Amino acid sequence: MIIAIDGPAASGKSTTAKGVSQILDIPYLDTGAMYRAITYFVLENKIDIEDASVLKQVLDDIKIRFESENGKNEIYLKGKKVTSLIRTTAVTSHVSRISAVKDIRISMVKLQRSIGEENGCVMEGRDIGTVVFPHADFKFFLIADIEVRAKRRLKDLAELGETKSLEILMEEIEKRDKMDSSRDYSPLAKADNAIEIDTGVLSIDEQIEIIIKRVTNK
């Protein structure tokens, strides 16, 4: 079974998708983490993504894998654990530009499809219901008011030891959403048959329950 959960930044996708995957006991995949891992690699190695042959080499060599360790999802890039490194402000501010590159998307979508097809998946991202799995069994599109989303990110950043003003965060999130929605190739979009859920007015348990009820028809 494939459950696609899409939506803009900080709309509650990760928390919801993780909860749904635990209850239904099917794997969970955070596709944003994959684009973040590539972005981290590009920045760290000062890769010129405009150079097609260099980019091809990078994509041929890159190995991204997920491991569940002590109940936590860890992401490895070429054998190195990068779970925290992909959440920094530097990565966040470059990820929209880098994830808009067509060849990067083609490579990531291929990997996402092969992971999803193996054992089924609760997959979260921006283009899962539209491009990666247009025939997903269930599609959801999460939204929330910009201030609610910025407050969530503020909390995430505090856990990483970073501080930022709410206003700046709201601007950054809006900018990222705009770039993600306006790119030429597979932009952030709600699939026609996706069910929209406003997480700004719901608790995490309620968000999860709406999806579980739909999926199990109970």
Contacts with ligand DC, residue ranges (CB under 6 A): 9, 31-32, 35-36, 95-96, 99, 125-127, 176, 180
What 3 state SS string does the chain have?
CEEEEECCCCCCHHHHHHHHHHHHCCCEEEHHHHHHHHHHHHHHCCCCCCCHHHHHHHHHHCCEEEEEECCEEEEEECCEECCCHHHCHHHHHHHHHHHCCHHHHHHHHHHHHHHHHHHCEEEEECCHHHHHCCCCCEEEEEECCHHHHHHHHHHHHHHCCCCCCHHHHHHHHHHHHHHHHHCCCCCCCCCCCCEEEEHHHCCHHHHHHHHHHHHHCC
Compute the least distance from the CB of residue 56 to ligand DC, in Å.
20
Compute the least distance from the CB of residue 178 to ligand DC, in Å.
10
Q: Measured from the CB atom, is 39 or 215 closer to ligand DC?
A: 39
Q: Measured from the CB atom, is 125 or 215 closer to ligand DC?
A: 125
Compute the least distance from the CB of residue 40 to ligand DC, in Å.
11
Q: Measured from the CB atom, is 171 or 213 closer to ligand DC?
A: 171
Compute the least distance from the CB of residue 210 to ligand DC, in Å.
20
Q: Measured from the CB atom, is 178 or 213 closer to ligand DC?
A: 178
Compute the least distance from the CB of residue 84 to ligand DC, in Å.
13
Q: Measured from the CB atom, is 100 or 215 closer to ligand DC?
A: 100
